[in-house]
Structure 1
Amino acid sequence: MTITQLQYVLAVAEYQNFTLAAEKSFVTQPTLSMQVQKLEDELDILIFDRSKKPIAVTEVGKKIVSQAKNIVNEANRIKDIVDQEKGFIGGEFTLGIIPTIMPTLLPMFLNTFIKKYPKVNLVIKEQNTDDLIRNLQDGHIDAGIAVTPLEIEYIKERPLYYEPFVGYVPKNHRLSSFKKITSTDLDINDVLLLQDGHCFRDGVINLCKASESLYDETFQLQSGSFETLVNLANEGMGMTLLPFLNTLNLDDKRKENLRYFENPSPAREVSLIYHKSELKIQITDAIKDVISGIVRGAIAFQDVKIISPLNKK
């Protein structure tokens, strides 16, 4: 039994196809199939039921796959321990970022991080929170940036910053004459929201519920981007709420429509999340330090109140 054989087993279990598993493992299909077969022969059991399409994991195979994940992770820790001992910060690191954070955060820190840590090959993937959680568990990403708290047993959360909500209130809206707003001023029935599945949408709904506004289930005007929400608001379709960092690049005319909250301002907690095994923790720490230093300087608000979304997607 070898680590390589276990890695091939994990690949087949994930992709349920020997050809695709071999492609993802950067080996030929006959090589991968032979190594999996050798392991099955050694153990005298079948890990996979090849008669099914797609290939299925047998009952005993499920137990082996679960244990194989632990063994492969622990094997990876050996190199990780050596890297930490040598103070080496380098190698490939895959970071997932949720869609409502990536467009504003990535340009702020990426160039600084690359210059400071040139030996890190940083791979960035945009994923919703459910995918981040699943990929952290499966070892397909090393860390993620998401709205927290998630409170998942095998995931550690380290807050990076607290990002305030800002109202975008176009002219002729009932709140346009307000210099500042509070959560009690909001009515969910005229707040434009991101489409179902976005954590920011859930946070806004929670914020409005907290102010005892009624949520009209027939309200269906939703979008997948903040830019679209702003454009719809400008067309008289209502108001919207933006994360603070999304307001920084608005033109001067649009900035006139921004309405900040009275302190304490509602905000979302944005955290770096990673598996409790803490593989490549030295790179995780480096990312946290760079982002925290840059973003905290950009957010000048004090005494923010954390509004935790129900579903982080």
Structure 2
Amino acid sequence: MTITQLHYVLAVAEHKNFTKAASSCFVTQPTLSMQIQKLEEELDVLIFDRSKKPIELTDVGRKIVYQAKNIVNESDRIQDIVDQQKGFIGGEFKLGIIPTIMPTLLPMFLKTFIKKYPKVKLKIEELTTEETMQRLEDGHLDAAIAATPLENEHLKERVLYYEPFVGYTPSNHRLFKNKTIDPNDLDLQDMLLLEDGHCFRDGVLNLCKSFKDQGDDSFQLESGSIETLVKLSNEGLGMTLLPYLHTLEINDSFKPNLRYFTEPSPAREVSLIYHKSELKMQIIEALYDTISGIVRGAITFQNVNIISPLPRKK
């Protein structure tokens, strides 16, 4: 049994297809198939049921895959130990960031991080919260930046900052005359929201007290981006809520539309999340120090009320 064979098994378990698995491992399909067959012969079991389309794990195969993940993670730790012993901070690092954080946070820290740690090759992907959790569990991401808490027993969360929600109200909106707003003032009937799949949307729904009395069909205008929500609001189609860092980029002519909440300000908790196996911790620590140091100067709110990013249970 080899670590390479276990990598191949994990790839097939993920893709449920030998050809796609071989491509992801950068080997030919016959090479991958032969190595998995050798492992099955050595163990005298079938790991995959090849008669099914797509390919499925056998009962014992599921147990083997679970253990293989642990073994592969532990084997990766050996290089990790060597790197930490040498004080080396470098190599490829795959980072996922959710869409409502990426455009504001990434420009704040990326240049500084690259300059300070030139040997780290960052590969950054914009992914939904659900995608980041799955990829972290599958070992396809080293870390992610997302709204927390996520209540996932396999992942660790390290808080970077708390980002308040800020109201954005057009001049024709009922709350425009208010100097500040209260969560009880919010009504989903005149609220512009992000589309399903965005945890910021779920945070807004959790914040709105009226959600318990309204179904999802009570609002109609939804968008895939915060920038579009602002444009729709400027057309007088409703108010929306923005993460605080997005308000720093609002055109000066539209800043009178911003309305802050009465304290404690509703806010989202933004964290650096990673697998409990804690691989590449030296890079994770470097990311944490860089980001938290920079954002600390941009967000000074202290009295906040953390809103869950998880979908509300009905």
TM-score by length of 2: 0.95
In structure 2, what is the equivalent of residue 219 of structure 1?
219
In structure 1, what is the equivalent of residue 71 of structure 2?
71
Q: In 1, distance between residues paired with 2:287 and 2:232?
A: 36
Q: In 1, distance between residues paired with 2:18 and 2:215?
A: 49
Corresponding letter in the other structure for 2:142:
D
In structure 2, what is the equivalent of residue 207 of structure 1?
207
Once the 2 structures are TM-superposed, how far is the Cα of residue 213 of structure 1 from its aligned partner? 8.2
In structure 2, what is the equivalent of residue 276 of structure 1?
276
Q: How does 1:180-259 map to 2 (within 5 A)?
A: 180-209=180-209, 214-215=213-214, 217=216, 218-259=218-259
Q: In 2, distance between residues paired with 1:40 and 1:135?
A: 27
In structure 2, what is the equivalent of residue 17 of structure 1?
17
* Other structure's SS at 2:214 match: coil
In structure 2, what is the equivalent of residue 101 of structure 1?
101
In structure 2, what is the equivalent of residue 263 of structure 1?
263
CA-to-partner distance for each residue in 1:176-204, whole Å, 9 max, x for gaps?
12222222222222111111222111211
Identity in percent: 72
In structure 1, what is the equivalent of residue 55 of structure 2?
55
In the alignment, does 2:37 pair up with 1:37? Answer: yes
In structure 2, what is the equivalent of residue 89 of structure 1?
89
Assess if the C-alpha contact under 8 Å between 1:194 and 1:223 holds in 2: yes
Once the 2 structures are TM-superposed, how far is the Cα of residue 216 of structure 1 from its aligned partner? 5.1
Change (3 A) 1:212 1:12: closer
Change (3 A) 1:48 1:310: closer
Once the 2 structures are TM-superposed, how far is the Cα of residue 214 of structure 1 from its aligned partner? 4.5
Corresponding letter in the other structure for 2:93:
F
Assess if the C-alpha contact under 8 Å between 1:90 and 1:283 holds in 2: yes
In the alignment, does 2:108 pair up with 1:111? Answer: no
* Other structure's SS at 2:96 match: strand
In structure 2, what is the equivalent of residue 309 of structure 1?
309
In structure 1, what is the equivalent of residue 175 of structure 2?
175
* Other structure's SS at 1:158 match: strand
Assess if the C-alpha contact under 8 Å between 1:187 and 1:213 holds in 2: no
Corresponding letter in the other structure for 1:72:
V
Assess if the C-alpha contact under 8 Å between 1:92 and 1:121 holds in 2: yes
Once the 2 structures are TM-superposed, how far is the Cα of residue 249 of structure 1 from its aligned partner? 1.1
In the alignment, does 2:136 pair up with 1:136? Answer: yes
* Other structure's SS at 1:298 match: coil
Q: Which runs of 4+ in 1 moved over 3 A?
A: 211-217
CA-to-partner distance for each residue in 1:19-69, whole Å, 9 max, x for gaps?
111111011222111111111111112112222222222121111111111
Change (3 A) 1:52 1:310: closer
Stretches of structure 2 lacking an aligned partner (at least 5 in a row):
none
Assess if the C-alpha contact under 8 Å between 2:48 and 2:56 holds in 1: yes
Assess if the C-alpha contact under 8 Å between 2:188 and 2:211 holds in 1: no
Once the 2 structures are TM-superposed, how far is the Cα of residue 212 of structure 1 from its aligned partner? 8.3
Q: In 2, distance between residues paired with 1:284 and 1:50?
A: 39
Corresponding letter in the other structure for 1:134:
Q
Q: In 2, distance between residues paired with 1:307 and 1:42?
A: 52
CA-to-partner distance for each residue in 1:76-124, whole Å, 9 max, x for gaps?
1111111111111111111111111111111111111111111111111
Q: In 2, distance between residues paired with 1:274 and 1:249?
A: 29
Root-mean-square deviation (Å): 1.6
In structure 2, what is the equivalent of residue 80 of structure 1?
80
Q: In 1, distance between residues paired with 2:36 and 2:279?
A: 26
Corresponding letter in the other structure for 1:178:
N
Assess if the C-alpha contact under 8 Å between 1:89 and 1:283 holds in 2: yes
Q: How does 1:280-295 map to 2 (within 5 A)?
A: 280-295=280-295
Assess if the C-alpha contact under 8 Å between 1:184 and 1:212 holds in 2: no
